[in-house]
Structure 1
Amino acid sequence: MLHHCFLVIGALLSLAIPLLVAMETCPASGMPGMPGIPGMPGKDGRDGDKGDKGQSGTPWDGSRGPQKGEKGESGEMGWPGKRGQSGETGVSGLPGTHGNPGAPGDPGTAGVQLKAAFSVARGTNEYPDKSSVIRFTNVITNLNDDYNTETGRFRCRVPGTYFFVFHASLEDRLCVLMKLDNNLLTPFCDHRRNRRQVTSGSLAVYLSRDQEVWLETKDYRGMRGKPAGYSIFSGFLLHSH
């Protein structure tokens, strides 16, 4: 069987070889055939050779972030901010040097300025007017005329502490107000209706220069100035300031 197959193959080859030779020597006279079907894609080629080394880049300055630009122009001044908290008190500085001595003052009259006293009596038998300043017209002592017999007021010339006292002879009820520049210091009132009685009152007051003190009546004004019993108003400086 196998031998028979070889014989068939040999016969076919003997017929095919002359035909192939004829096709090579004689041009074909028929039409071209249809293009064949594209073949399958080929495999990737081998890696190429390593390229040449590239040129060097720009030198690096070592910074990690963006480069600092040039300084810009100053902006406009903003609105003032709120006041901050006060800081701690600083340490006291060293004492300064002594200044030069001052010029001598003008000559004074200390012996006269430190003296102030008056004592005046009411020289009339008439009652004083209601709600008015009580005038004492008879002068017993009046240094530098600090008590004015026309106005009935004492004007302070030497600032300091003064002591004022009055003694009143009366035959009727009396209410006396001691005032300082229209401000009431204290009232002294005696509402008993006895015949020929006396009353008094006193007060220590600090006065500034040009302040005034006086006695003034209120509702009752039974103060007289008979020769047998005078009504007296006095004041003097205790201590100057």
Structure 2
Amino acid sequence: MLVNDKLFGLAVILKLFYETCATAETCSNCCTAIPGNPGNPGNPGNTGNPGQKGEKGSDGIVGVQCQKGDAGAPGKLGPKGPQGPLREEIQRKSAFTVAYSYSSFEVVGPMKYDNIITNVGDHYSAETGFFLCQIPGTYVFSFTSQKKDQNVALRTNLMKNGVIITAGLGQGSEGQSFTNIAILNLEQNDRVWTQPHAATNSYLQSSLKYCTFSGFLLYAS
């Protein structure tokens, strides 16, 4: 009787053990766990010290130099500006006064005045008797002649490139003088001179220079 009671108790214990295991296996497969509250964030760490400056890097490769491009077409010419005033030191000048003292004019040709009083620009030549224009423009020319013989008429012509422009005539007494003046437009290399109308030696010879020839540039063209 005692043995049977022990066996029965053992059977009960085993049954409870198997039921408990089955229940635990079923719960683990069907039950869902409730999530817990999130944890508090930790404190941020301290900022680190800056690092040391790095060394300079090596230079880059030099690029290839390209060829120079062609020059562009020239621009249009701008309008001509107004003419500025001429400065005194660069203004073109031409002026002369020459005199006849002891030479005689016994041929029809340029009178070679031997006494140079003024010759600005050296445009008058005593060797040829010509005034040679080097500055195109408008000029003023004048001459004065004086005769020494009352019995001979004396005429002096003002010439330009071989053409008589004007003349002076003396027909009176000994010592009579005559003069004339002309304003001429000249181009470069034009020549102006005086000459007797006929071969004569009737001009008054004197150191006082009674016979003269003058000219000057009025304005350049």
Normalising by the smaller structure, the TM-score range is 0.5 to 0.7
What does the per-residue CA deviation read over 1:59-99, in whole Å, with 9 as the maximum and x for residues that have no partner? xxxxxxxxxxxxxxxxxxxxxxxxxxxxxxxxxxxxxxx93
* Number of the residue aligned with 2:110: 133
Rg: which structure is higher?
A: 1
Write the distance in 2 (CA, Å) between the matches of 1:177 and 1:164. 12
* Number of the residue aligned with 2:180: 201
Write the distance in 1 (CA, Å) between the matches of 2:156 and 2:91. 30
Tell me the TM-score normalised to structure 2 length: 0.56
Instruction: Letter of the 1:116 partner, please give it.
Output: S
Instruction: Letter of the 1:196 partner, please give it.
Output: G
Instruction: Letter of the 1:145 partner, please give it.
Output: D
- Residue 225 of structure 1 deviates from its aligned partner by 3.2
1:170 aligned onto 2:150: no
* Number of the residue aligned with 2:217: 237
Tell me the TM-score normalised to structure 1 length: 0.52
Write the distance in 1 (CA, Å) between the matches of 2:213 and 2:144. 7
1:111-190 pair list within 5 angstroms = 111-112=89-90, 114-124=92-102, 126-172=103-149, 173-190=153-170
Identity %: 27
Any idea what SS the aligned residue of 1:219 has?
coil
Mapped contact 2:101–2:209 kept (Cα < 8 A): no
Unaligned regions of 5+ residues in structure 2, if any?
1-74, 80-85
Any idea what SS the aligned residue of 2:185 has?
strand
- Residue 167 of structure 1 deviates from its aligned partner by 1.5
- Residue 179 of structure 1 deviates from its aligned partner by 1.0
Mapped contact 2:170–2:177 kept (Cα < 8 A): no
What does the per-residue CA deviation read over 1:85-114, in whole Å, with 9 as the maximum and x for residues that have no partner? xxxxxxxxxxxxx93349xxxxx9984562
Any idea what SS the aligned residue of 1:167 has?
strand
Q: Which runs of 4+ in 1 moved over 3 A?
A: 108-113
Mapped contact 2:107–2:198 kept (Cα < 8 A): yes
Over the residues paired in the alignment, what is the CA RMSD in angstroms? 2.7
Write the distance in 1 (CA, Å) between the matches of 2:184 and 2:140. 6
Any idea what SS the aligned residue of 2:198 has?
strand
Distance 1:196 1:100, change over 3 A: closer
1:1-241 pair list within 5 angstroms = 99-101=76-78, 111-112=89-90, 114-124=92-102, 126-172=103-149, 173-192=153-172, 194-219=173-198, 221=200, 222-241=202-221
What does the per-residue CA deviation read over 1:162-221, in whole Å, with 9 as the maximum and x for residues that have no partner? 1101112221331111111112212222222x1222111111111001100000111264
Any idea what SS the aligned residue of 1:204 has?
strand
* Length, aligned pairs only: 139
Instruction: Letter of the 2:96 partner, please give it.
Output: F
